[in-house]
Amino acid sequence: MGVFTRHTGKIIVKIDDFFDTVEDGLLIFKEAIKCYLNDNSEHFQDYLKRIDKLESEADKKQKSIENDMIIHSILPQHRSEVAMLIDETDDLIDTVKEVVFQFDVEIPSFPASLNDNILHLTETSVATCEELIPALRAFFREPHNVRDKLNRVYFFEGETDNIANKIKKKIFHDMPKLSLAEKSHLRYFTHHIERLSDRAQGVADLLLSLSMRIIM
């Protein structure tokens, strides 16, 4: 049995639509980083605008869901926790926007030899979030299935950490021509891409805890 009853199907539709928006932001994030690394500034700027728009849409959908939960007295005993779950999921697209905007503002200069590594890091960090979405959707329909769906989230989060550490080591150990300031700048942006998976892990931890309380 799901968290919501048949009488609150409209809210489930809104929640699914919210998750769709977050997923769209993740896909665009991958493409934006790819364009940046390939010096495709025109498409990068286009993705920047699209991410900004999606982030605003996600915020509006989040507020609408929370308002409906209050008006219709959905899960009064767990309302604050579910609201926190939605809010932390919204932080994923907030982080996506923040990282892409920082690329636009600070213009990090990655050596071409790092491009494949950074793309791999981006894809793996995003995969952590993408694997989280099915678990989030399951929570509102089949909370007993959430735990199994989270295994891949934790796997990709660990992979993201490993890839990021290898990149940082490569920057500081194998690139003597870079100044310390340049190395620090690249480490900073590596960390920010990695941070997306850390956010996903935080949502996964909250989701697991909440789902266990719901099914008990």
Residue 1 has a pLDDT of 47
One-letter amino acid identity for 126? V
SS3 content of the chain, % helix, strand, coil (to 5): 85, 0, 15
Residue 73 has a pLDDT of 64
Task: Give the model's confidence band at 51: pLDDT under 50 very low, under 70 low, under 90 confident, else very high.
Answer: very high
Task: Give, to the nearest 10 degrees, the angle between helix 151-173 and helix 180-215.
Answer: 170
Of the listed ranges 5-14, 52-61, 84-93, 114-123, the one predicted with least confidence: 5-14
What is the pTM for the complete model shown?
Answer: 0.91
Share of the chain above pLDDT 90, in %: 78
Residue 160 to residues 77, 129, 167, 185, 200: CA-CA distances in angstroms? 36, 11, 11, 19, 11
Cα dihedral sign for 168, 170, 173, 177? Answer: negative
- Nearest alpha carbon to residue 32 among 23, 20, 41: 41
The mean of the pLDDT values for the chain is: 92
Task: Give the model's confidence band at 81: pLDDT under 50 very low, under 70 low, under 90 confident, else very high.
Answer: confident
pLDDT at 211 over 90: no
pLDDT digit string (tens) for 82-132?
Answer: 889 999 999 999 999 999 999 999 999 999 999 999 999 999 999 999 999
Its CATH architecture, for the domain 6-215, is: Up-down Bundle (1.20)
Q: Domain extents for the chain? A: 6-215
Mean pLDDT on 16-44: 96
Share of the chain above pLDDT 70, in %: 92
